Structures are given as structure tokens and as C-alpha cells.
Structure 1
């Protein structure tokens, strides 16, 4: 029995340039400032990438392959928990589409090929909005959000 697949699409507008948005996604020294993780790769199709927590432990949390790179407008990667790296069924796909939109950028992140109702699908539906809001905040104001913040108890 095959499990159903689902996808998540998030669109945001950022007062920036396509080059700066692409760089923020692909440069470890920038991604750690708004994401709390470094995205590490040489960013060539077929290469591996790692999502490494920016703390003393330097834990590799996510891994994948670079599927497509068309800087500064498009990046496609596969995506899996590091603990499931050897399971081809565990991988999903993330597409970053960056397009100039007058004096800003329209960033569309499509995370698809996700196993429906999986922990990953639930996690990214909460994770992408805060990460991309932090990216927007960081590029527009120089200040990132706390992507590890938790809701206040009622």
C-alpha cells in the first residue's frame, strides 16, 4: 500500500533583490543568522547539501541533493531528516522560485512529495512560515526572528 503525498506552498514578498534572496538561502554564514542553521553545499546539481544546526553540537538535521540551480531565480533540492538519509522513500523536494516583482522579490517555496500526515509534513507546515518570515525580516531590517520561539501558554 502506498502512502498518499501532500505538498505545501508558501509565497512571500520581500523588499530585496533576487541575488540577495538566493544568497541568503545558499550561504551558510547568512542562513544561520535568520534560520539558526547553516545550509552547506557547493550548490551544483548532483551535489549533497546539509542543514547544520548553528550551535555547539553542530548537528546535521537535514540532508539532500541539489537537483537544479539557476541562480538567482530557482533552486530545487531533495530534503530528508538526516536520520533517514539512507531511505529513498523519506525524501521530499523543495523548490525555491525567486522572481523580481517591481522593487521587490516574490519568493515561492514549494515543498512537495511529502508523505501525507507524516511528522515531516506537520513540521514543515509550522516551520516554513516562521523561517520565511524571519528571512523577510532579516533582509528588510537586518533583524531576524527567533525561529525557535514557542507559543505562550494561555
Structure 2
């Protein structure tokens, strides 16, 4: 019996739920940590969205849930690679939970849980997102906490 693969990533970020929500949904912000990609939508349930890198759409989907600043979910369909494009859309969910409100010395902290699921058993997309999400989410965390983007592609 084969099971559908599932990707889950949990990180703590020194920020507020509102700032994290904006970082996830503001195209001018996403371009800074998402490998130059703008995530474009009005973020309302049922609305389309696209991942736009330069003038090329790489991924697309539909907003399933949008509950600012705590929950965002959308379908995800890769459209560039021919083999990946053949797969049915998967689902991405961002859950944002406030852990500290900033009234203590450490400042505000949120737990971000990203779940990417609903892949077919022999998915071609799953291995790609499993490599991509850690870099993207590390870049998001670094940018929110330091104000500077993480350059994960820099040669050493």
C-alpha cells in the first residue's frame, strides 16, 4: 500500500502574526526571499494566484482558506516542467500561531507551520518542493528577523 507524501516544516520566527502574514501575501515582500518570485493574488477564498518570476508564471492555484493573520491555504500546480504540469494540484497550508506578544524581553514570536500535501504517490513535484521550501522559509525567517535577505545561492 503506497501513501501520499507530505511535507511539513515548522519554524519559530521573532515577529508578529501580522508582519508574517504581510510577508507571505505582499508580492513586493515575497520577491525578497522567494528566489525573486512574486506571489500575486487578492488572497480571497476562491481567487486565483500565481507565482511570477520575472515575466514567467511558474506555479498557479486557487485560494482555499484565508483567515488573516493566522491561516492561509491554496492549491499549488507547477506549470513550467512538462512532467510536473501533468500532476493534479497539491495543497499548501500556512498556520501562524502567536507564542509571545512582545511584552516580555524576548519580543513577539510566532510558530509557522507549513504543510504541503495531496501529492500522488510517485510525485515529481514532491522532491522539488522538499528541497525548495526549507530555503524559502529560512530566507523568510532571516529577512523578518534581520531585515536582510538570506543569499542561499552565494558561492563560497
- TM-score bracket for this pair, using the shorter chain length: 0.7 to 0.9
Residue 39 in structure 1 maps to residue 44 in structure 2:
no
Against the structure 1 CA distance between its residues 118 and 146, is the aligned structure 2 distance closer, same or farther, given a 3 Å change threshold? farther
Gaps of 5+ in 1: none
Task: Describe how 1:99-138 pairs up with structure 2 within 5 A.
Answer: 99-102=97-100, 103-138=108-143
Q: Tell me the equivalent position of 1:68.
A: 65
Residue 145 in structure 1 maps to residue 150 in structure 2:
yes
Q: Report if the CA contact (8 A) 2:50-2:57 is conserved.
A: yes
Q: Tell me the equivalent position of 2:21.
A: 22
TM (norm. structure 2) is 0.85
Q: Tell me the equivalent position of 1:10.
A: 9
| Matches of 2:73 and 2:85, distance apart in 1 | 20
Against the structure 1 CA distance between its residues 8 and 86, is the aligned structure 2 distance closer, same or farther, given a 3 Å change threshold? closer
CA offsets 1:103-144 (integer angstroms, 9 cap, x no match): 201000000101234221001111110100000000000111
Residue 51 in structure 1 maps to residue 56 in structure 2:
no
Runs of 4+ more than 4 Å apart = 83-87
Gaps of 5+ in 2: 101-107
Q: Report if the CA contact (8 A) 2:26-2:39 is conserved.
A: yes
Q: CA deviation at 1:86?
A: 8.1
Q: Report if the CA contact (8 A) 2:78-2:85 is conserved.
A: no
State the SS of the aligned residue for 1:146: coil
Q: CA deviation at 1:5?
A: 1.5
Q: CA deviation at 1:21?
A: 0.6
Give the length in aligned residue pairs. Answer: 146
| Matches of 1:86 and 1:52, distance apart in 2 | 16
